[in-house]
Amino acid sequence: MDMSRRDFVKRCLLAGGTLLVAPGCGLADEPGRAGQLAEDAEVGYVKLEQEGKLAERVEQAYEIIRGCKLCPQGCGVNRTRGQRGFCRAPERAVIASHQPHFGEEVPLVGRRGSGTIFFSHCSLRCVFCQNWPIAHKGRGRETTDEQVADMMLELQRIGCHNINLVTPTHVLHNALSATRIAARKGLRIPLVYNTGGYDRLEMIKLLDGVVDIYLPDIKFMDGEQAKVYTGGAEDYPDVATKAVAEMHRQVGVLKTDGRGIAKRGVMIRHLVMPNRVSGVRQFVQWVADNLSEDTYINLMSQYRVEFNADDHEKIARAISPQEFLEAMDWAEEAGLTNLDSRSVAQRDSFRRRWGD
Ligand code: SF4
């Protein structure tokens, strides 16, 4: 990106009134870094704060938890008075960990990692949950929004490419509030909303302009399967597809910078499950028909028997190489062109060993 030094300084000042807080406003380690940081100053939540709109979103979210409808469970409990609903989450966020993460998709990880913040509890509660001590048992430490903001700033300071909010649906009020506090203290890296996909359309609309990168799962395409393998969320396919369509409307397909690092857009995950219970063929066709063929799709092969999956015969085993290969073939047949590089590498490896 061409930009004079004077323009760069001006844009840094406009973005937050400080040249020193954004990591590397010291500029040194990579060619073109000055231009990069100027782009960082354009992350959605900063612009919204400059326009005076972010505070309203925080207020709206805190109002919603007085008769909680943050997620489609719609419990109606007053979380500001200590009541807890289906997710078991209190008013304050419970955090299991915050750290640079190198296991996420390559465009999120880059060289320095994705700055993950793992929120405990969950409003979907899948029977095969791989994070069950955190999601089901609520393991973690209760924190204030100010403390969550400090975690964000720490992740930025150590060089993470983004702030990756993991399972934020039921703590949206905390996530918004913490983002605002951190933005006012100099947070300037993209915000990733990493969700299981069970998100009310109205809540995703509340995030319009705040979130830069949406990272949703679409786990099931059939309500009967969703009902059995989650905490009874028969409406999951309808809810998730509407939410993801809105995410796509807001931020579009994935855009990366010159280094291949994600800046803005939607990245969708789908865990391939045994016996076709997730509906992968319907999923890839839905993406092609309703979003666009160049939507970033990660078909994941790492399903394993966790938590209560053993109680369900159809999902009480790992997937076979053939199940993963047919999933990738369906994605290609649907015309999808932006498949996650590690999925493609896994497919190629399976083809060499088990393909025709
Ligand atoms: S976030 Fe929790 S309390 Fe609120 S509606 Fe969802 S499950 Fe119920």
Residues 266 and 218: beta-carbon distance below 8 Å:
no
Q: What's the pLDDT score for residue 28?
A: 27
Of 69, 84, 86, best ligand 1 pocket probe by most atoms within 8 Å of the beta carbon: 86
Q: Does ligand 1 come within 6 angstroms of the Cβ of 77?
A: yes
Q: What's the pLDDT score for residue 42?
A: 80
Q: Does ligand 1 come within 6 angstroms of the Cβ of 70?
A: yes
CATH of the domain at 343: 3.20.20.70
* pLDDT at position 36 over 50: no
* pLDDT at position 16 over 90: no
pTM of the model: 0.89
Question: Is 8 found in the same domain as 136?
Answer: no
Is residue 319 assigned to a domain? Answer: yes
* pLDDT at position 258 over 90: yes
Question: Is 263 found in the same domain as 137?
Answer: yes
Q: How many Å lie between the centroid of ligand 1 and the Cα of residue 25? A: 40
Is residue 267 assigned to a domain? Answer: yes
Q: How many Å lie between the centroid of ligand 1 and the Cα of residue 298? A: 28
Question: Is 13 found in the same domain as 131?
Answer: no
Task: Please give the share of the chain, as a percent, with pLDDT higher than 90.
Answer: 87
Q: What's the pLDDT score for residue 354?
A: 80
Q: What's the pLDDT score for residue 69?
A: 98
Q: How many Å lie between the centroid of ligand 1 and the Cα of residue 166? A: 16
Least confident span in 30-44, 75-89, 281-295: 30-44
* pLDDT at position 356 over 70: no
Question: Is 4 found in the same domain as 152?
Answer: no
How confident is residue 193, by pLDDT bands cut at 50, 70 and 90? very high
* pLDDT at position 37 over 50: no
Question: Is 84 found in the same domain as 9?
Answer: no
* pLDDT at position 64 over 70: yes
Residues 69 and 60: beta-carbon distance below 8 Å:
no
Residues in the chain: 356
Question: Is 158 found in the same domain as 88?
Answer: yes
Residue partners of 94: CB distance under 8 A and separation at least 6? 119, 120, 121, 138, 140, 141, 142, 143
Closest ligand 1 atom, CA of 74? 5
For 218, the 3-state DSSP assignment is: coil
Is residue 299 assigned to a domain? Answer: yes
Domain count, the chain: 2
Question: Is 263 found in the same domain as 122?
Answer: yes
How confident is residue 5, by pLDDT bands cut at 50, 70 and 90? very low
Question: Is 139 found in the same domain as 23?
Answer: no
CA gap 169, 150 in Å, rounded: 20
Q: Does ligand 1 come within 6 angstroms of the Cβ of 239?
A: no
Question: Is 177 found in the same domain as 33?
Answer: no
Closest ligand 1 atom, CA of 77? 3
Q: Which domain holds residue 33?
A: 1-42
Is residue 278 assigned to a domain? Answer: yes
Q: How many Å lie between the centroid of ligand 1 and the Cα of residue 97? A: 21
CA gap 94, 251 in Å, rounded: 28
For residue 302, the 8-state DSSP code is -
Is residue 272 assigned to a domain? Answer: yes
Residue partners of 200: CB distance under 8 A and separation at least 6? 69, 70, 71, 72, 239, 243
Which strand (E) or helix (H) includes residue 106?
helix 106-109
Token pair of 337, please? 């062109």
Is residue 176 assigned to a domain? Answer: yes
Q: Are strands 296-300 and 163-166 parallel, antiparallel or unpaired?
A: unpaired
Q: Looking at ligand 1, which residue's alpha carbon is closest to its atom 6? A: 71
Is residue 203 assigned to a domain? Answer: yes
Q: How many Å lie between the centroid of ligand 1 and the Cα of residue 273? A: 27
Is residue 55 assigned to a domain? Answer: no
Question: Is 196 found in the same domain as 233?
Answer: yes
Closest ligand 1 atom, CA of 75? 8
